[in-house]
A = this chain, B = another copy of it.
């Protein structure tokens, strides 16, 4: 099986578990549960949950324990997209070719659906911890890592600075801050949470943390590069979302060639972090190769 098929297989596995959290539409709350489910089912690479599960397995951990945390990080990622798409934020009508949440359910319900998903992420992790003997210590640590990455020190911090930077020239430091917090933080947290659930030793944890940080930032730089060169931009234009040419990106600040070099270096660094692991880390290595040759 080639790596792309392998990735798709794992994506399907995550989605099978993820949708189960929305099977019960409750009673009066039907609308908000449906709105949450709509965005959860709207696709995506499922990179964060796949990483969390994979890291747990690499360490010989129990995949079944990791699943709830994997679903939780995807719920948090999805809520951030719903709120990011709102008229007061990026004002996007489409995401991945489908109408955004507020276009289907209205702004009020979309705000509550986002809130509901963030809350459900914590409910999901807590329920898993309570029901699983021996998971409490590791579960609390994983939840702590995830909550630090999704809050003002992480993702929300990045979103607010991104919002404030719109249409402005920003400096390298601010751009790196946005990328490290808005996107990388949750990618890195998924890897660290997987490491904790999998019972990583200190040294393994540090190596995986470095892997996560490098991959997360490189991933975002590649996204920036694709915004200049790639097919995803054209697709974006086709479905009507507007590309903000004023926006500061790695290519606009450093130039295209230098940005490619920076991404290359980060991917190399991430591979180096995996050197202490045997062939069990091959999936994480192949993922780097896969991400670095994405369409650009």
Q: Does A153 contact B (CB under 8 A)?
A: yes
* Contact assessment for B108 and A122 in the assembled complex, using a CB-CB cutoff below 8 Å: no
Surface stretch bound by B, among A83-91, A234-242, A267-275: A83-91
A112 sits at the interface (CB 8 A): yes
Q: A28-B177, A32-B152, A152-B26 are in contact. Are A163 and B108 (CB under 8 A)?
A: yes
CB pair B115 A88 closer than 8 Å: no
Q: Please tell me if A151 contacts chain B, counting CB pairs below 8 Å.
A: yes
**Complex contacts, A27 vs chain B, CB 8 Å:** 177
Q: A118-B119, A126-B147, A147-B123 are in contact. Are A112 and B156 (CB under 8 A)?
A: yes
**A144 cross-chain contacts in B, Cβ below 8 A:** 123, 126-127, 130
Choice from B87, B88, B102, B140 contacting A130 with Cβ under 8 Å: B140
List of B residues within 8 angstroms of A26 by Cβ: 152-153, 157
Most B-side CB within 10 Å, residue of A26, A27, A33, A118: A118
Distance in Å: Cβ of A28 to nearest Cβ of chain B: 5
In the complex, the count of this chain's copies comes to: 2
**Which secondary structure characterizes the binding site on chain A?**
helix
Determine whether A136 belongs to the interface, using a CB cutoff of 8 Å to chain B: yes
B109 touches A163 (CB 8 A): yes
Q: For residue A119, which residue of chain B has the nearest CB? A: B151
Is A164 an interface residue when CB atoms closer than 8 A count as contact? yes
